[in-house]
Structure 1
Amino acid sequence: MRKLFYLICCLTIWVDSRSQTSDDAYREPLKQVLTEIESQYGIKIRYSDGMVNDRWVTYARWRFRPDVEKTLANVLASQDLSFSKEGDKRYKISAFQYHLKTVEEGKAQLDYLSTLYNDVASWEKRKTELRACMYEALQLSPVPPAPASKPITTPVRKMDGYTVENIAFEVLPGVYTCASIYKPAKIKGKIPVVLCPDGHWEKHRYRPDCQYRCASLARMGCMAISYDLFAWGESLLQFKSEDHRRSLAMTVQTLNAFRILDYMLKLKEADTSRVAISGGSGGGSHTMLVTALDDRIKLSVPVVMVSSFHSGGCPCESGMPVHLCGGGTNNVEIASMAAPRPQLVVSDGGDWTAHVPEIEFPFLQRTYGLYGKTGEVENVHLPLEKHDYGINKRTALYEFIGKHFHLDMSAVKDKITGKIDESKVTIESENALYVFGDHGEKLPANAIHSYDDLKKLFEKK
């Protein structure tokens, strides 16, 4: 009896497509449709039952096309699902990734954007519209007033050719962002300022490669500051790690940069004409966005993130509708908003920046060319490397900043080989870079402790 009952249930659920009409919207179970696609096109589709159970496709067979991938696209788009090819006649279904296009779609969008402006005047008009929309999208129009509190600092630590000081900024009432400032051991006159946001790599700004980067910039004669992502590092004293993947992460991180610039550029040794920003991966998204929004940035180096088909999969990169501004934009056009300010795009062959030399970089050159400044944008492409901020990528940063800010590179180069030498940098332990103590015991009493409390701050605004 149980077997008979099960068979009846299956027969009830399994719809015969021939019995479906427009009165039923040709409705069929998604799993049944996928089985038919496998049979008709001779392919295998991998998916979890939880992803397809209890899903129905309207006008199911009307979505079929002679091309299997067009058929999959038509069927899955109705379910907010997408697919990727795993091999010959093998496909995998995944949740729709709003931040991703195909390479071809990314290039097509750039081709379309190129038709919107052909001179400085038309580009400046679009840039102004994009910027205003981006501020609105981030809920930063207007930018909320800064709290009156002074930054919290730790004692200065002296290293070989540079110093390190930890610092915390109250960016919103009860919301703190922690950072470390690296300065030259001896400062003469005005020196450059470099913001160093980081990506989603393990250990964030405590990682050796981040410390190498900031310390080497300081040894070159810059003030470099690395700071926590929202709900990473010491920000976890106030928020849960999952809060990083919520939309306001993008807003808070942008506001962090504004507050840090406010502070750094008021220091007596800061040269406001030489201000740079460089981050990799998610920090590269941050680099492009902050440069697009704030003219105080005079030079930018987005690393392994400039892509026409990838907008950043973390909500801290795309959680707010910035990329929907202007009828639709992407990271390449956002990077173009730096023009005519110097910009170095660092790309590699192991991620979504693999096509930069032939697709994204020509678009950037075109925009810079409107100002007659094509030479101000450069690309260092490392085809054999992968997604990181390794020594070759850091070397490109040092050389670019050294050239445009007229710095003495001898402090970071081996006297015999002439190559970048980071051996004099001291890699500190993670807790050495803390502001609020080993266990967060020094966190200010007014600190908020939930994402809901953060949302209330914007609701009040």
Structure 2
Amino acid sequence: MKSATIIFGMALAAMPAMAQNNYENQFRRPLGEVLTEISERFQVKLKYDIDTTGLVLPYADSRIRPYSVEESLANVLMPFDFKFVKQNEKTYKLKRYEYPRRTEADGRKMVAWLNSLYSDKDSWEARRDSIRQEVRELLTIDDALAKRVEARPVFSKVRKFDGYTVQNFYLETLPGLYVCGSIYAPDSKGKHPLIICPNGHFGNGRYNDAQQQRLASLARMGAICVDYDLYGWGESALQVGGEGHHKPEAHVIQALNGISILDFMIARKDVDSTRVGVNGGSGGGSQSVLLSVIDPRYTASCPVVSLSSYFDGGCPCESGMPIMRAGGGTTNAELAAAFAPRPMCIVSDGKDWTNIVPENEYPYLQRVYGFYGAKDEVSNIHLPNEGHDFGPSKRNAVYDFFIEVFGLDRSKLDESKVTIEPHDAMKSFGHDGENMPANAIRYVKK
């Protein structure tokens, strides 16, 4: 008589192929097939930013929860580091995991957790001081500053317009590496407030029409404003290529550039060092918050369409270095709170990751400012029907804030008086970089 084991093995071999989907091969099914079943079972539409070709899901059927499409999607996507984003009641978008982006619910939980960490000024300041130091270390900014070149900026001729002037500059920060920018100044004499304006990822960078309108309008009202290229954008791309912007060093070098520009600007005789602001939108807003954390010289801050407890910034120039690990976990909302009790205005809208600022991040900031008896020093301009841009409503919010905190001349506010310059006029290295210094790093396509 054959052994029971042999008989069982023969019987198994004779079974239909479908029975081979068993515990030993982990009940595997193609991921695309499982997702199609979920779509049909729950009557939802799935949009794909992922490629499921060739991906096989173990224990596929047991991951589906018949009572919850969202739990089913989470279970099915998790092994591949994918996630879903709910777009409406019947549509979900499938995406790769994004380390800087979470959900609104996560943002609310994060703020609640942060609120539990401190109950008064002393406990807050202990946390704040630790966060500031850890951000510096995680960003590696002090290492970059130690390698900085002690160089003077090189200026173009001054261009004169209605109530303001513009002058380009370039400055060597690291050996052979330059930052290019423009200085917008009032045409009046005397001491003026200074506003450093890192630009975000809006089209055309610092040459953008809205960027020119904002800086020139602020200059007409009495402020000196400076903007500069993102690393790997504009004239910086001549040195490091567009690829440079998508590397973690962009995070460090943009902060280094902001510090270096403030160093030479604050020493000017026409600058009032007691009135120094920082203002930017989108990625420029993230930079504004970061600069306010690592550089104590700022006295007013206005981040626009950027501040969020559930999105740190989707570009390596905002999140390339792991600064959000500081303090066991932080967010831009807490980093912004470190600016208390100095004046700050948060500009938010209803159609991006700043959508819950009025009910989440803003009350949190008010609480921290309240530790100093300074709740009135933080404000929020929320535009619920607008989206992610630096349009007229956002610019007007910026103007109102700096008019109030820096005493600018509102009677000079008139964007129609601003001249939108052609891009070549704003280039510090000239057309196609013909005036780049001899020692400048030059990008060579591979």
TM-score, length-normalised on structure 2?
Answer: 0.91
1:375 Cα deviation after fit: 0.5
Contact persistence 1:304–1:346 (CA under 8 A): yes
Match of 1:210 in 2: 211
Taking the aligned partners of 1:194 and 1:334, their CA distance within structure 2 comes to 20
CA deviations over 1:219-261 (Å, ceiling 9, x no partner) = 1111100111111111111122122122111111111100011
Matches for 1:285-434 after TM superposition, within 5 Å: 285-412=286-413, 421-434=414-427
1:90 Cα deviation after fit: 3.5
1:104 Cα deviation after fit: 1.1
Q: Flag the 1:216–1:85 CA change in 2: closer, same or farther, 3 A.
A: same
Q: Flag the 1:183–1:16 CA change in 2: closer, same or farther, 3 A.
A: farther
Taking the aligned partners of 1:44 and 1:346, their CA distance within structure 2 comes to 34
Point out the more displaced range, 36-45 or 348-357. 36-45
Taking the aligned partners of 1:397 and 1:212, their CA distance within structure 2 comes to 12
Match of 1:94 in 2: 95
1:325 Cα deviation after fit: 1.7
Matched AA of 1:428:
E
Match of 1:458 in 2: none
1:27 Cα deviation after fit: 4.3
Contact persistence 1:17–1:28 (CA under 8 A): no
Extract unaligned runs of 5+ from structure 1.
1-14, 413-420, 453-461
Number of equivalenced pairs: 427
Taking the aligned partners of 2:436 and 2:19, their CA distance within structure 1 comes to 63
CA deviations over 1:397-433 (Å, ceiling 9, x no partner) = 1121121122332222xxxxxxxx2122111111111
Taking the aligned partners of 1:394 and 1:451, their CA distance within structure 2 comes to 38
Match of 1:247 in 2: 248
Q: Flag the 1:17–1:338 CA change in 2: closer, same or farther, 3 A.
A: farther
Extract unaligned runs of 5+ from structure 2.
1-16
Contact persistence 2:201–2:283 (CA under 8 A): yes
Taking the aligned partners of 2:90 and 2:402, their CA distance within structure 1 comes to 48
Matches for 1:44-123 after TM superposition, within 5 Å: 44-47=45-48, 51-65=51-65, 66-123=67-124
1:26 Cα deviation after fit: 4.8
Match of 2:9 in 1: none
Q: Flag the 1:324–1:381 CA change in 2: closer, same or farther, 3 A.
A: same
Match of 1:440 in 2: 433
CA deviations over 1:55-80 (Å, ceiling 9, x no partner) = 23344344333311012112212211
Matched AA of 2:334:
E
Contact persistence 2:200–2:281 (CA under 8 A): yes
Match of 2:14 in 1: none
Secondary structure, counterpart of 1:277 in structure 2 = strand
1:44 Cα deviation after fit: 4.0
Contact persistence 1:38–1:44 (CA under 8 A): yes
Taking the aligned partners of 1:94 and 1:367, their CA distance within structure 2 comes to 35
Matches for 1:274-289 after TM superposition, within 5 Å: 274-289=275-290
Q: Flag the 1:451–1:123 CA change in 2: closer, same or farther, 3 A.
A: farther
Taking the aligned partners of 1:89 and 1:24, their CA distance within structure 2 comes to 34
Secondary structure, counterpart of 1:52 in structure 2 = coil
Taking the aligned partners of 2:348 and 2:19, their CA distance within structure 1 comes to 49
Match of 1:199 in 2: 200
Contact persistence 1:208–1:427 (CA under 8 A): yes
Matched AA of 1:320:
M
Match of 1:235 in 2: 236
Matched AA of 2:56:
W
Matched AA of 1:168:
Y
1:176 Cα deviation after fit: 0.7
Match of 2:181 in 1: 179
Matches for 1:2-21 after TM superposition, within 5 Å: 19-21=21-23
Q: Flag the 1:161–1:100 CA change in 2: closer, same or farther, 3 A.
A: same
Taking the aligned partners of 1:400 and 1:272, their CA distance within structure 2 comes to 18
Contact persistence 2:289–2:335 (CA under 8 A): yes
Taking the aligned partners of 2:46 and 2:352, their CA distance within structure 1 comes to 25
1:18 Cα deviation after fit: 7.8
Taking the aligned partners of 1:88 and 1:126, their CA distance within structure 2 comes to 40
Match of 1:125 in 2: 126
Secondary structure, counterpart of 2:193 in structure 1 = strand
Matched AA of 1:444:
P
Q: Flag the 1:336–1:59 CA change in 2: closer, same or farther, 3 A.
A: farther
Contact persistence 1:288–1:331 (CA under 8 A): yes
Taking the aligned partners of 1:311 and 1:117, their CA distance within structure 2 comes to 22
Match of 1:165 in 2: 167
Taking the aligned partners of 2:151 and 2:378, their CA distance within structure 1 comes to 39
Taking the aligned partners of 1:311 and 1:391, their CA distance within structure 2 comes to 25
1:39 Cα deviation after fit: 4.5
Taking the aligned partners of 1:129 and 1:16, their CA distance within structure 2 comes to 59
RMSD: 2.1
Larger radius of gyration: 2
Contact persistence 1:287–1:300 (CA under 8 A): yes
Contact persistence 2:292–2:298 (CA under 8 A): yes
Matched AA of 1:237:
L
Q: Flag the 1:75–1:210 CA change in 2: closer, same or farther, 3 A.
A: same
Matches for 1:251-270 after TM superposition, within 5 Å: 251-270=252-271
1:112 Cα deviation after fit: 0.8
Q: Flag the 1:394–1:90 CA change in 2: closer, same or farther, 3 A.
A: closer
Taking the aligned partners of 1:236 and 1:135, their CA distance within structure 2 comes to 26
